[in-house]
Amino acid sequence: MIEIRQMPELPKNPLPIIIMGAGGIVADAHLPAYKMAGFPVLGIYDIHVEKAEELKNKFPFIRQVFYTFEEVQEALRKNNVVVDLAIPPSQTMEILDRLPAKTAVLIQKPLGEDLDQARSILELSRSKELVSGVNFQFRYAPYNIAAQSLIDHGALGQVYDYEIKVCVHTPWHLWEFLYDSARVEILYHSIHYIDLIRHFAGNPSRIYASTVRHPMMEALTSTRSTIIMDYDGMLQGRIITNHGHTFGPDHEESYLKIEGTEGAVKIRIGVSLDYPKGMPPRFEYIINSDGKGWRDLPLTGGWFPHAFIGTMAGIQRYYLGETESFGHDIEDAFETMKWVEKAYISSESGGVR
């Protein structure tokens, strides 16, 4: 009988958290996840004070609102905490530079707007000896932990195929800053899928990509991508995204499929369907040897907010000395950024003419 895990291991005595930023992702994912996991939140800071106050009222377990960055720095001097940096990547360097040395900090993905910025953030983190992680939380969604559990047990045999397809209508207007960004779809969305396939299979040997605009969303630099991650041998990962499907829910798709020589997994990524309302996720799997055919695994949650427990739990356990490593540390995140950069280079260099 295979024990299929769905939840990450939590720190025994979690440290309090200071959240920098009070945007939608904090309200919809970070704070609900921390409340669910029992992580204490010492305080929240945002340059728009009214946003921080609004979240304090909505989530009373937040102990206080910080009204100036100096108040945050004072709290960091007095308390052993983990900083949750939930801000756009363009602001990351400035904030990291003002944190005390050796601070534990969870950085919002992506790690910079391009590889040069990612490298600068990495070097600053190293020079200040920060304990830095990046919030690549998708790998910690309960269904992805379950898939990893089946892979680790060898239940799927030799895995040879990862396929992610997202054909939905995404309301990009919810993220106004993206309209000024030189890169959109891969950097802010498919980056999760590149990171997930790397998490399962390691770095590929090569990557091919094309990312393009949509005629009804011309203000954004790209909203559709096709990415192939090739590994030496028989393993391949494919990512196909189309965020401009405006024809209703009947033919929307959002899934991860994993195939191996002895079994397979099909996951419905429900949050992408009818976003931001979303649909429930679904986990189906088959193991040839047990003869039971396809069956459903009851899930404990989905991507939002449950996956956000894993990234905070991992960095806390490492910082507290409960584990020797955590998968989403800044060094591993930089590897994901390298492959994102290679995907853009592939798209810009074009195919065979």
pLDDT in tens, 136-164: 999 999 999 999 999 999 999 999 999 99
Residues 170, 182, single domain; the answer is yes
Q: Does residue 308 surpass a pLDDT of 90?
A: yes
The pLDDT tens digits for 92-117 are 999 999 999 999 999 999 999 999 99
User: Which one, of 42, 61, 172, 186, lies nearest residue 113 by Cα?
Assistant: 186
Residues 144, 291, single domain; the answer is yes
CATH number, domain of 215, equals 3.30.360.10
5 assigned to some structural domain: no
Residues 104, 65, single domain; the answer is yes
* Contact in structure between 65 and 75 (CB atoms under 8 Å): no
Q: How many domains does the chain have?
A: 2
* Contact in structure between 100 and 77 (CB atoms under 8 Å): yes
Residues 297, 314, single domain; the answer is no
353 assigned to some structural domain: no
Residues 264, 314, single domain; the answer is no
Residues 320, 215, single domain; the answer is no
Record the tokens describing residue 301, joined without a space: 């949650």
The pLDDT tens digits for 222-263 are 999 999 999 988 999 999 999 999 999 999 999 999 999 999
d(Cα 108, Cα 85) in Å, to the nearest integer? Answer: 6
| Confidence at 277, pLDDT banded by 50, 70, 90 | confident
270 assigned to some structural domain: yes
Residue 335 confidence (pLDDT): 97
Task: Tell me the pTM.
Answer: 0.95
* Contact in structure between 107 and 87 (CB atoms under 8 Å): no
98 assigned to some structural domain: yes
d(Cα 292, Cα 103) in Å, to the nearest integer? Answer: 50
Half-sphere exposure for 199 (CA within 13 Å, toward CB): 22
Q: Does the CA dihedral 172-174-180-185 come out positive or negative?
A: negative
Residues 145, 244, single domain; the answer is yes
| Confidence at 175, pLDDT banded by 50, 70, 90 | confident
CB atoms within 10 A of CB 264: 20
101 assigned to some structural domain: yes
Q: Which residues make Cβ contacts (< 8 Å) with residue 25, sequence separation at least 6?
A: 86, 108
| Confidence at 352, pLDDT banded by 50, 70, 90 | confident
Residues 154, 254, single domain; the answer is yes
Which residue range forms the structural domain that includes residue 224? 140-303+340-348
Please provide the average confidence, as pLDDT, over all residues in the chain. 96
Residue 84 confidence (pLDDT): 98
Residues 133, 198, single domain; the answer is no
214 assigned to some structural domain: yes
Residues 112, 149, single domain; the answer is no
d(Cα 75, Cα 256) in Å, to the nearest integer? Answer: 42
Residues 157, 169, single domain; the answer is yes
The pLDDT tens digits for 47-59 are 999 999 999 999 9
Residue 276 confidence (pLDDT): 83
Q: What's the whole-number mean pLDDT along residues 72-77?
A: 95
Residue 63 confidence (pLDDT): 97
User: Which one, of 180, 237, 174, 240, lies nearest residue 206 by Cα?
Assistant: 237
The pLDDT tens digits for 3-40 are 899 999 999 999 999 999 999 999 999 999 999 999 99
Residues 159, 258, single domain; the answer is yes
335 assigned to some structural domain: no
| Confidence at 275, pLDDT banded by 50, 70, 90 | confident
Residue 143 confidence (pLDDT): 98
d(Cα 83, Cα 306) in Å, to the nearest integer? Answer: 19
147 assigned to some structural domain: yes
CATH number, domain of 98, equals 3.40.50.720
